[in-house]
Amino acid sequence: MTKKKSAIIKVYGRVQGVGFRFYTNKKAVELELSGFVQNKPDGSVYIEAEGEDTNLLTFIDWCNIGPEWARISKVETQFVPPVNVVGFQMK
């Protein structure tokens, strides 16, 4: 049985207006993760994601790179208890 994990991920840098939410959603669906991604007023992107342990860690690694046009300056990750969300959304 695989272990489910959940994380709050905050991504800083040039991450708005570059398709970051679109590609984050695409990567999350590809990795069978649940949760959401949204832009924040401070210019960062906020993500809540949960799923199988190795898929979540792969996703976090991807968040440190992002899509081609993004320029990541910092990623903060906090692991939290899973809440069994279904599906992944862009907000």
The catalytic site residues sit at 21, 39
Tell me, what's the pLDDT at 12?
98
What is the residue range of 43's domain?
A: 4-90
Tell me, what's the pLDDT at 2?
63
Work out the pLDDT band at 3, boundaries 50, 70, 90.
Answer: confident
- pTM comes to 0.94
E strands, the chain, where?
4-14, 34-39, 45-52, 71-80, 88-90
pLDDT 10s digits, 7-52: 999 999 999 999 999 999 999 999 999 999 999 999 999 999 999 9
Cα–Cα distance measured from residue 48 to residue 28, given in angstroms and rounded to the nearest whole number: 10
Tell me which residue of 9, 22, 3 sits closest to 59, measured CA to CA.
9
Q: How many domains does the chain have?
A: 1
- CATH for 18: 3.30.70.100
